[in-house]
């Protein structure tokens, strides 16, 4: 058994350009003169998760045939979506038959907050942060068509693109290097302050001016009794 297993060769997997997602497989009937004719209908979404997405609908007597037809049609109906920071540039509302769709841009880290067919279409388009809501019908086919048309109606915002070009993205390593000269400059300023300051800080304390007023007060007090003695002698002489 081991020898047989070693002889088997595994074929290399082909790198597919687009990822495929089957949204729904329905059994449909067509009434003909002889009776009802049963077939299968497959709705498929394809995308490269880089801004390109397409949808296709295929019908066949077998499920595999219907899916392959849907994929070929989806490749023919590809559209490119303008993405800004992994989200859509603006809010959009769209209606297709009974289905109503609301798509809103979201901040980074929000994720895909949407359900059903909207989630699959948006995920394959490469949108990572978005808020979506299906307001009208719950039919998968009509909601997929509504989301696809809504994404096709998105318009690029040139103002945001200009801001992104003006702000250069600096890597983290360079930021660390830029911070180093600031530290060196701070050290230099500290060294300069030390140089300018005198070596002997003791002479700064001026003891003489503080002592002078005390001495003056003492002298005044000493002189006062002399003046009084002189006045007494003058009075005695008289």
Strand, helix or coil for residue 201: coil
CA distance 50 to 94: 23
The pTM (predicted TM-score) of the whole model is 0.62
> What band does 17 get if pLDDT is binned at 50, 70 and 90?
confident
Question: Between 134 and 4, where is the model more confident?
Answer: 134
Residue 1: its pLDDT value, please? Answer: 44
CB atoms within 10 A of CB 53: 28
The answer, yes or no, to whether residue 6 has pLDDT greater than 70, is no
What is the chain's mean pLDDT, rounded?
79
The pLDDT > 90 percentage for the chain reads 56
What confidence category does residue 180 fall into, taking pLDDT thresholds of 50, 70 and 90? low
What is the Cα–Cα distance from 104 to 93, expressed in whole angstroms? 9
Q: Which residues of 80-115 are buried (b: 16+ CB within 10 A; e: fewer)?
A: ebebeeebbbeebebebeebbbbbebbeeeeebebe
Judged against a pLDDT cut of 90, whether residue 213 lies above it is answered with: no
Helix (H) / strand (E) element for 192: namely: helix 172-196
Check residue 214 and report its DSSP letter.
Answer: H
pLDDT at 118: 96
Share of the chain above pLDDT 70, in %: 60
For residue 69, give the nearest of 20, 113, 36, 110 by alpha carbon: 20
Q: What structural domains does the chain harbor? A: 19-156 (3.30.230.10)
Q: What is the pLDDT of residues 123-153, one digit of tens each?
A: 999 999 999 999 999 999 999 999 999 999 9
Q: Is the pLDDT of residue 183 over 60?
A: no
Q: Residues 102-117: pLDDT tens digits? A: 999 999 999 999 998 9
**Higher pLDDT residue, 211 or 158?**
158
At residue 215, the pLDDT reads: 47
The pLDDT of residue 16 is 82
């Amino acid at each position: 058994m081991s020898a047989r297993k070693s002889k088997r060769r595994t074929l290399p997997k082909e790198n597919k350009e687009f990822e495929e997602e089957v949204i729904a497989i329905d059994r449909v009937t067509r009434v003909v003169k002889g009776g009802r004719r049963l077939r299968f209908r497959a709705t498929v979404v394809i995308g490269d998760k880089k801004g390109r997405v397409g949808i296709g609908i295929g019908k066949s007597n077998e499920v595999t045939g219907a899916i392959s037809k849907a994929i070929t049609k989806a490749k023919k109906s590809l559209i490119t979506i303008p993405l800004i920071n992994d989200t859509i540039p603006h809010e959009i509302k769209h209606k297709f038959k009974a289905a109503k769709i609301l798509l809103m841009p979201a901040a980074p880290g929000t994720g895909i907050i949407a359900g059903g067919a909207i989630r699959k279409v948006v995920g394959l388009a490469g949108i990572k942060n978005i808020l979506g809501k299906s307001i009208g019908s719950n039919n998968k086919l009509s909601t997929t068509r509504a989301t696809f048309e809504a994404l096709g109606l998105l318009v690029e915002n040139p103002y945001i693109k200009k801001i992104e070009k003006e702000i250069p993205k600096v890597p983290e390593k360079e930021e660390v290097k830029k911070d180093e000269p600031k530290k060196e400059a701070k050290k230099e300023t500290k060294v300069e302050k030390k140089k300018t300051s005198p070596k002997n800080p003791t002479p700064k304390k001026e003891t003489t001016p503080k002592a002078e007023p005390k001495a003056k007060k003492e002298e005044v007090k000493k002189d006062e009794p002399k003046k009084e003695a002189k006045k007494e002698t003058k009075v005695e002489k008289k």
